[in-house]
Amino acid sequence: MDASQVIFILSAALIIASAVMVVSTRNLIQAALWLIATLFGVAILYAVLDAGFLAVVQVVVYIGAIAIMFIFAVMLTSKDMRDKGPQVNASWPGAALLGLLTFGGIFVILSKWDGLGKLPGEIPGGADALLAKLGVALTSPELFVLPFEVASILLLAALIGSVYVAMNKK
Amino acid sequence: MSFWTDPIKVVYDGLMLLLTGWGLSGAAANVISSLLGILLLITGAMVLDIMLVWVERKVVARFQGRLGPNRVGPYGLFQPFPDIIKLIIKEDITPDGADKVVYNMAPIISLGSVIFLWAVVPLASTIYGVDLNVALLYLVAAGALGTLSIIMAGWSSNNKYALLGAFRQVAAMISFEIPMVVALLIPTILAGSLSLKVITEAQAGGRWFFWLSPLGAVLFLISAIAELGRSPFDLNEGESEIVSGYHIEYTGMKFGLFYAGELLHAFTFGGFLSVLFFGGWHGPWASQYPLLGVFYFVAKAMFGYWLIMWVKYTVPRIRIDHMLAFNWKFLTPVAFALLVVTAVVHSLLKNAGFWPYCFGLFFSNVLLGWITLEILRASTRRQRLAVEAPQPAAQH
């Protein structure tokens, strides 16, 4: 077992354990903090896979965003921020079955795949070249510049819409 | 190759030889040597941090016409040590109703988010932690972690003042992150890379990015001060309004970690200012003798730190609406305009030779700064005239 496998097992354990805590803790703020731990574990996986850019963006976007979610959670919930009701509703057996079936399906598919148990190979041209390709693809007119810009306009529209909704009408 | 030309390599090879001589495998020896290197870097930063307490107190004393610490040791140089002993032996209080785990983790993350940054700082041509190709994004990511620690401290203290301080910090962070990221893009355009090593190497021979983009350096300095939460943007502490905000409940060394983190953060941003705009480790004979490069880097970082202190102890705290208006109506538009101007001038004059390129960029910056000041002057004149205009008599 080499170092990257040890790191993978540790961060996978972190992801699963904190993901379980996100849905099982009764305190809203602690759930948000566990969510940060989950996403941080995913960032570690990206770093292990030589995707440094994705790892850093994961931290910037998600931890920065959760800081803001934190504030909404504090401002929009009642004083105690503790959920006192039951944690599951009547349809939990169905959800559990669906979850088990999905897990089983992925397990079967992966166990047939011959790449399982192999170490990741070298990226052709190195990770940096791949990243440069991604950047060029996002900004070149032949590839994805139009969807990229449309997505930006969508976000801008959402921003203007929220300003309009929040504005005091005279 | 001797110790003076490539110290890290010489020490590393010596360590590997020693450890493999003890019967360790090559991989284990590599891990141990790397861990020792990390430990050395963190220890160096922390020892420097102890002395920064003295530097900060001495400099603020000079700005305020006082003497500063002058009793313990020559020039009060040993003053931080009694302070540390005092912090360590103080009673450790956890407030009633605090979320204990989060409460105790916040100071560690606060200091950790600063020490993270030192992994990517190139101290000299061959002395650096790691040459990350996304180092500038990494800087922003570490800033997000720092903000998270402040929110954790503010929320878990179970104190309204602490929570208010944390809220204000998030408002400042969201807004000032935008001009900061745009200001970081200016050296990126000029050097063609996000890696701090490449950015430093692009500034060889006195071609500092400060000469190419003085406005960018100023924008970075302002948004760095806001990111640090230092005066005039220290609304998250605001000791006269919310009694020092998010760390109000912390005692002893837990407060000490926040304090150490704040000082080291300011010094680190001084270091980033030097790397991005003042040539980093570049200086006479620095490329032959890396240790000299470390000296130049620390000297330039100290200059940046001094600039931040100068602003902190000169400018009073601004109101929160002024702060947000300053960011959204002034800093962000100027930053975006500068980004466009720099990109256009850079691509037009890239092949026009050294002097036209430098002069073109410098004067486009000066022109943009002058236009900005003129627009500001015109708008304040309009506001003043509106106030001075004769008012209709009061209605009865």
How distant is the Cα of A89 from the closest Cα of chain B, in angstroms? Answer: 28
Question: In this structure, what DSSP letter does residue B383 have?
Answer: H
- pLDDT score of B147: 83
Whether a cis peptide bond, with omega within 30° of 0, leads into B232 is yes
CB B79 within 8 A of CB B69: yes
Angle, alpha carbons B41-B46-B52 (nearest 5°): 125
Which two tokens mark A107? 């397990």
| DSSP three-state, residue B389 | coil
Q: Is the pLDDT of residue B312 over 80?
A: yes
* Tokens 């009547």, residue located: A90
Distance (Å, whole) CA B140 – CA A64:
10
Q: Containing H/E element for A133?
A: helix A127-139
> Which phi and psi angles does A27 have, rounded to 5°?
-90, 125
Q: Is the pLDDT of residue B303 over 80?
A: yes
Residue of A nearest to B177 (CA): A64
Q: How many residues in total does chain A contain?
A: 170
Closest CA to B139 of B80, B183, B88, B204: B183
- pLDDT score of B150: 85
The number of CA neighbours under 13 Å toward the Cβ of B134 is 22
- pLDDT score of A80: 62
Give residue-wise pLDDT tens across range A78-131: 666 666 777 778 888 999 999 999 999 999 998 888 777 777 677 777 777 778
Lowest mean pLDDT among B31-40, B44-53, B230-239: B230-239
Identity of the residue in B27, B140, B152 whose CB atom sits nearest the CB atom of A60: B140
What is the full DSSP assignment across B40-86?
HHHHHHHHHHHHHHHHHHHHHHHHTT---S-SSSGGGTTTHHHHHHH
* Tokens 């996000």, residue located: B194
Tell me the chain A residues in contact with residue B139 when contact means C-beta distances shorter than 8 Å. Answer: none
Residue of A nearest to B171 (CA): A68
Mean pLDDT of the A156-160 span? 90
Which two tokens mark B183? 């200001």
> In this complex, is the C-beta atom of A1 within 8 Å of any C-beta atom belonging to chain B?
no
ipTM over 0.85: no
Lowest mean pLDDT among A13-17, B9-13, B221-225: B9-13
Letter string b/e over residues B353-373, b meaning 16 or more CB atoms within 10 A of that residue's CB: eeeebeebbbebbeebeeebe
> In this complex, is the C-beta atom of A15 within 8 Å of any C-beta atom belonging to chain B?
no
Give residue-wise pLDDT tens across range B89-102: 888 888 887 788 88
How distant is the Cα of A103 from the closest Cα of chain B, in angstroms? Answer: 33
Q: Is A29 within 8 Å of B132 when comparing Cβ atoms?
A: no
Distance (Å, whole) CA A13 – CA A19:
10
In sequence order, the β-bridge partners of residue A82 are A27
Q: Is B102 within 8 Å of A128 when comparing Cβ atoms?
A: no
Which two tokens mark B113? 């988010």
Lowest mean pLDDT among B113-122, B181-190, B228-237: B228-237
Q: Is A67 within 8 Å of B133 when comparing Cβ atoms?
A: no
Integer CA distances (angstroms), B131 to B13, B122, B269, B292, B332, in order: 20, 8, 18, 20, 30
- pLDDT score of A82: 66
Distance (Å, whole) CA B164 – CA B167:
5
Q: Is the pLDDT of residue B196 over 70?
A: yes
Choose from B132, B155, B159 for mutation: most chain A CBs within 10 A. B155
The number of CA neighbours under 13 Å toward the Cβ of B323 is 27
Tell me the chain B residues in contact with residue A66 when contact means C-beta distances shorter than 8 Å. Answer: 148
- pLDDT score of B394: 64
Q: Calculate the average pLDDT of chain B.
A: 84
* pTM of the complete model: 0.84
How far, in whole angstroms, is CA B100 from its chain's centroid? 30
> In this complex, is the C-beta atom of A66 within 8 Å of any C-beta atom belonging to chain B?
yes
Q: Is the pLDDT of residue A7 over 90?
A: no
Q: Which amino acid is at B165?
A: G
Choose from A29, A46, A56, A62 for mutation: most chain B CBs within 10 A. A56
Comparison of pLDDT for B286 and A38, the residue scoring more? A38
Distance (Å, whole) CA A38 – CA A14:
7
Closest CA to B371 of B319, B318, B333: B333
- pLDDT score of B395: 59
